Amino acid sequence: MLVMKNINKIFQTADIQTHALRDFCLQVNEGDFVSVTGPSGSGKTTFLNIAGLLETYTDGEFLLDGEDVGTLNDNGRSRMRNQKIGFIFQGFNLIPDLNLYDNVDVPLRYRGFNAKERKRRIEENLERVGLASRMKHLPSQLSGGQQQRVAIARALATDPRFLLADEPTGNLDSEMAKGVLTLLEEINQQGTTIIMVTHDAELAQRAKRTIQVKDGRVSELEIVSPQMNQAIA
């Protein structure tokens, strides 16, 4: 479970203070598929970065899978990212010099799995996204949709509790986008919690819950968790 209470994030430069998140509150339960929408600059990427432990927050309380994220040091956050969170990026973020097999291998090495276990997970997850036959190919030899599938395989290889997707279909045409979204729905049905940031309203509708972020706050919840306070209108 992911719980954020009154999270604030302030970016401070020499002259300017930017309040990216203001008293941000959200609860995501196990098995949820939450889409996060909002206009550019609303704070949705900042939310995703904080939720994915890619960035620290200024104040507030953030519990991930029962662990207080605020108490973790950099190594602790790295460990938690590796063990509990899978990322899917808009630009796929595959390593261009490595083939598909090695790309999926990267987080598994950080996890410290032995070679046999890594091989099993790589093959299983590439099979899961339908690219087992192309594991020796380089990312540049694949279409955008296939690259995003590899990124999903990489994200799933560590068996994460949460899958965070940042505009996962943003660089894909509509056919490829549908395919990726269908895959995400299947993954969610198999029990993985998904939080997806998107500006595509149609895509957002496919999630079980949709929240809208505006000016750094949750401005609208279509489905509100009963444990959470009312979002600020």
Partner 1 sequence: MLETGLILRALARNKIGALLIALQIALTMTIMVNAIFMIQDRQHQMQRDSGLDEANTFYLTNTVFGQDYNIQAHLQTDLHMIRNTPGVIDAIQINAVPLSSSGWSMALQHEPGEDKDAVGSAIYMVDEHAINSMGLELIAGINFTQEDIELRKDGQSTWPAKTIITKAFAENLYPDDWQSAVGKTVYISQTQPMQIIGIVKALQAPWNGWNGVERSMLVPFHRESKGSYYFIRTEEGRRDALMPIIEKALAESDKERIIRRVTTVEDTRKRSYRQHNATNKILTTVVITLTLITGFGIVGLAIFSINRRTKQIGTRRALGATKRQIMSYFMMENFIISAIGNVIGCIGAVGLNMWLVSTFNLSPISFELIAFGVVALFIVGQLAVLYPARKAAMIAPATATRTI
Footprint on this chain of partner 1 (rule: CB under 8 A): 45, 48-49, 52-55, 74-75, 78-79, 81-83, 87, 89-91, 93, 95, 97-99, 102, 105-107, 109-112, 138, 154, 158, 166
Cβ proximity to partner 1, 60 vs 139, nearer residue: 139
- The answer to whether residues 137 and 106 touch, using CB atoms and an 8 Å cutoff, is no
**Least distance in angstroms from the C-beta of 182 to partner 1:** 24
Cβ closer to partner 1: 164 or 183?
164
State in angstroms the smallest separation of the CB of 108 from partner 1: 9
Helix (H) or strand (E) holding 178: helix 174-189
Q: Is the dihedral of CA 60, 66, 69, 73 positive or negative?
A: positive
Q: Pairing state of beta strands 59-64 and 67-68?
A: antiparallel
d(CA 100, CA 103): 5
Residue with Cβ nearer partner 1 (137 or 208): 137
Nearer to partner 1, 55 or 220 (CB): 55
CB of 218 to partner 1, least distance (A): 19
- Tokens, residue 76: 């602790």
Smallest gap from Cβ 82 to partner 1, in A, equals: 2
For partner 1, the closer of residues 32 and 105 by Cβ is 105
* Residue (3 or 48) nearer to partner 1, CB: 48
Minimum CB–partner distance for residue 224 and partner 1 (Å): 26
Task: Scan for tokens 């704070």, then name that residue.
Answer: 43
Q: How far is CA 37 from the centre of its chain?
A: 14
Q: CB of 98: closest distance to partner 1 in angstroms?
A: 6
The three-class DSSP label of residue 44 is helix
**Closest listed residue to residue 208, CA positions, set 231, 175, 184:** 184
Tell me which residue of 67, 57, 43, 58 sits closest to 161, measured CA to CA.
67
